[in-house]
Amino acid sequence: MSKHVLVTGGAGYIGSHACKALAKAGYVPVTYDSFVTGWRDAVKFGPLEEGELSDRARLDEVFAKWQPVAVMHFAALSLVGESMKDPGKYWRANVLSSLSLIEAACAAGCLNFVFSSTCATYGDQDGVVLDESTRQMPINAYGGSKRAIEDMLRDFGASHGLRAVIFRYFNVAGADPEAEVGEFHRPETHLIPLMLDAIDGRRPALTVFGSDYPTPDGTCVRDYVHVSDLVDAHVLGLKWLEEGKGSEVFCLGSGQGFSVREVIAQSRAVTNREVPILEGERRPGDAAKLVSGSTKALATLGWKPARADLTTMIADAWRWHQSGHYDK
Ligand code: UDP
């Protein structure tokens, strides 16, 4: 019998890659998406159920129809800058909606839950190795909202037996190597797609947000992880839950940090084109450095990132970028 997995945000960047990985692993991914930020043509690997996470009756209907073995919860607003300007939007869209989803999952007896959290829950902790045991001290509403959902999952674990694998992502980058799905946000705010836009003339330039951070070249340092590797970890997390191994937190990063200027240099090398640059102010809410210090997912889940090299991530993103999806 087919095993269905309810994938919230399955029409989004990471969710659509997760659907591909789930289908490849023999599951049927059922996308639940409101299309606030997702794309209809990204739903290619399983059925679609359109709906809002806050719509409890709709969620109940979908759980009853598909009887999923697990939930993978990607649907969220995820922009640091926006979350600083409009925190209420983030607390409503992320926290209240997740509460509705978690309650619906518990009511339906679907007690395996894979959650996409973030290293933004750590805040700005200079000199601290970031791993699963690091104290979470978010400095923006995005990170705050994700930490609240983590807490909620723990509470429902104690009360209802919900088992959650929580993944704290570092910076997700790249695209499906076969370019079936990729990163596509409107408006785009992420470094690599904006840089590729500037390289191929869709934007006049890339603005570097701050050059006076306490980092070697003054620009922010981030740890980039390939979206295809990231979703592979989710399938392993799902199997972990199905084997009854219980709730866990895993950081997903490469352990290697790259500054904004280093990412620019690598993009120049991959595309063999110039990157027009403007120097700008710091973006509120940005931590100076976020790099994973964890090997837990490798050691415990047996995660084997296959495309961990930043050059590969940029090359895959560039292939997707040139595949015509941006002309829609
Ligand atoms: N960044 C930048 N210019 C841009 C977009 C991003 O300099 O137009 C920087 C940003 O300040 C951060 C890094 O690139 O240090 C990664 O930002 P992104 O928005 O891609 O991901 P985040 O770290 O916010 O999850």
- The pLDDT tens digits of the residues spanning 135-158 come to 999 999 999 999 999 999 999 999
Does the beta carbon of 171 lie inside 6 Å of ligand 1? yes
- Give which of 107, 27, 13 is closest to 69, Cα–Cα: 27
Whose C-alpha lies nearest to ligand 1, atom 21?
190
Mean pLDDT value across residues 3-31: 98
- Sequence-distant (6+) residues with CB within 8 A of 86 are none
Does the beta carbon of 300 lie inside 6 Å of ligand 1? no
Residue 150 tokens read as: 């983590």
Give the pLDDT confidence score for residue 187 in this predicted structure.
87
Give the pLDDT confidence score for residue 327 in this predicted structure.
58
**Centre of ligand 1 from the C-alpha of residue 285, in Å:** 11
Does the beta carbon of 196 lie inside 6 Å of ligand 1? no
pTM equals 0.96
- The mean of the pLDDT values for the chain is 96
Mean pLDDT value across residues 47-64: 98
- Give which of 101, 55, 56 is closest to 75, Cα–Cα: 101
Give the pLDDT confidence score for residue 19 in this predicted structure.
98
Domain parsing of the chain, residue ranges: 4-173+224-252, 191-222+256-293+306-323
Distance of CA 269 to the CA centre of its chain: 26
Does the beta carbon of 258 lie inside 6 Å of ligand 1? no
What percentage of the chain exceeds 70 in pLDDT? 99
- Sequence-distant (6+) residues with CB within 8 A of 44 are 16, 19, 20, 180, 181
Residue pair 195/188 in contact (Cβ under 8 Å)? The answer is no
Does the beta carbon of 190 lie inside 6 Å of ligand 1? yes
Q: What is the maximal distance between C-alpha atoms in the chain?
A: 57
Ranking 42-51, 98-107, 178-187, 235-244 by mean pLDDT, the lowest is 178-187
| Active site members | 142
Q: Per-residue pLDDT for 119 more than 70?
A: yes
Radius of gyration of the chain (CA): 19
Pocket test for ligand 1, best of 222, 227, 278, 290 (most atoms within 8 A of CB): 222
**Domain at 4-173+224-252: CATH architecture:** 3-Layer(aba) Sandwich (3.40)
Give the domain 191-222+256-293+306-323 fold.
UDP-galactose 4-epimerase; domain 1 (3.90.25)
Residue pair 48/7 in contact (Cβ under 8 Å)? The answer is no
**Centre of ligand 1 from the C-alpha of residue 190, in Å:** 6
Give the pLDDT confidence score for residue 117 in this predicted structure.
98
Atom of ligand 1 nearest to the CA of 283: 11
Whose C-alpha lies nearest to ligand 1, atom 6?
191
Q: At 324, is the pLDDT very low, low, confident or very high (cuts 50, 70, 90)?
A: confident
CA 102/CA 97 separation, integer angstroms? 9
Does the beta carbon of 260 lie inside 6 Å of ligand 1? yes
80 phi and psi, to 5 degrees?
-55, -50
Give the pLDDT confidence score for residue 156 in this predicted structure.
98
- The pLDDT tens digits of the residues spanning 203-257 come to 999 999 999 999 999 999 999 999 999 999 999 999 999 999 999 999 999 999 9
Mean pLDDT value across residues 259-284: 96
Give the pLDDT confidence score for residue 115 in this predicted structure.
98
